[in-house]
Chains A and B, each alone.
Chain A
């Protein structure tokens, strides 16, 4: 038997939690860290060759460095969420996951309005200045982390 944060687990259960947690964290790492970090390489498959230079310059500016930090933090929290599910700290971990996703969503949507500025020299003399207001879509995406935080609070109130 192993004891983790007030949770007693058999050896087999612990191993299975570690494996599931690892798989879940790998998925989270891929979605929340790897994809944003590799945005240019990923998007270049769909972008015409003559616009690649512009994409190289513009796409990284869409990714706030804090997003990648949050992605790594989420990876860790998801792993802990699986391993420590039902423990005393499980509610706190769920709250942190919800908070991380909340912050992550706001950063991805740049607070609701995504700005994209392409200087003239990037697209053969064509300059583009785009403002896309996605506040309502962002609010829809924020429902999930808010519910997650509520769930974490409820778990904490129930004593883990």
Chain B
């Protein structure tokens, strides 16, 4: 009996050891899948567990939680209990849920843009009936990599898009330091006039940054209304805008904003007139010539269109007109020429004449009143 008991005990122990040792290399984890709802992010981790040992493993359950530095649970999940019979393989999905509550959203937003250490705690329960019951707890620090780190919004460049909009190109870059999560989202951008607070344009960008990679691309914004301002047509200015960026990353709405300044150069700058000359043609008309110069100080707006004008005397009566002038000045170039027109000869003796000039361009019509001595 003693010998039988020794042999039995050693046999049972060997079977238990074989079950414990042989199962370890047969646990495999497949690629997790993410799904998003309004209230949570769910990460499903497919697991397969083979039991080549001679004894069944029952009541296997696994719990896992991830907490941040302030001990707030960010991610939690539990699976089981399930049984892996001897010689069988079990396939199961271990779900982890990331609740998107009001309290967790700020934490998640922070985790999108900052790397920090998270505490991972895993608890495993398993039973090899009737001999062994395992309760195991493992805990470790998990270095979380920010999904959007070192976000750079560089100085924008501006170009003409059409008669009503400018094309603002904003180079953007960031790094995805996460070893697990790809960033795939649409970045919605709105450009706000910082002075008026009104929306001045918008754009969007499809952002795709694989895990452990850097993203660099241009955000294209369509900025309207700027050219229609008469002030900006004739004067340099510094334009202040706020770019609001909004995107949803792993189910978490996130936003950022940047203030940008555009150095605006007036398409018509330093408009000046020299003394004009007049030549009487007949009893009702005198031909006038009016030398002028201007500078297109814009970096990107080509000045094209025409100048029209009417001439008034000092009492406001219309006494003549300017012949249409074809206006053309490339960005950064000056223009010196002369306007011509006709006035009534009697108006030449009134001391001053008022020229009401209209600059007709593709971006709008702009009025400039000029008083010239006769």
* Interface residues in chain A, defined as those with a beta carbon under 8 Å from any beta carbon in chain B: 120, 125-134, 136-137, 140-141, 143-144, 147-148, 151
Contact = CB atoms under 8 A, between A and B. Distances in A.
A137 B12 contact: yes
A38 B139 CA distance: 30
B373 interface: no
Contacts of B131: 134, 136-137, 140
B138 A126 contact: yes
A132 B132 contact: yes
Contact of B139 (A127, A144, A151): A127
A127 B2 contact: no
Contacts of A128: 136-138
A140 to B, nearest CB: 5
Contacts of B9: 137, 140-141, 143-144
A121 to B, nearest CB: 12
Nearest to A117: B137
B140 A127 contact: yes
Nearest to A143: B5
Contacts of A148: 2
A144 B140 contact: no
B198 interface: no
Nearest to A127: B139
Given A144-B2, A151-B2, A130 B135 contact: yes
Contact of A140 (B2, B12, B138): B12
Contacts of A143: 5, 8-9
A125 B6 contact: no
Interface string B236-258: 00000000000000000000000
Interface string B124-149: 00000011111111111100000000
A137 B140 contact: no
A147 B5 contact: yes
A127 B139 CA distance: 5
A147 B133 contact: no
Contacts of A141: 9, 13
B286 interface: no
Interface string B1-45: 110011011001100100000000000000000000000000000
Interface centre among B8, B13, B16, B135 (most CB of A within 10 A): B135
A44 to B, nearest CB: 17
A125 B141 contact: yes
A128 B1 CA distance: 40
Nearest to B7: A144
B2 A137 contact: no
Nearest to B16: A137
Contacts of B8: 140, 143
A131 B134 contact: yes
Contacts of B139: 120, 126-127, 129
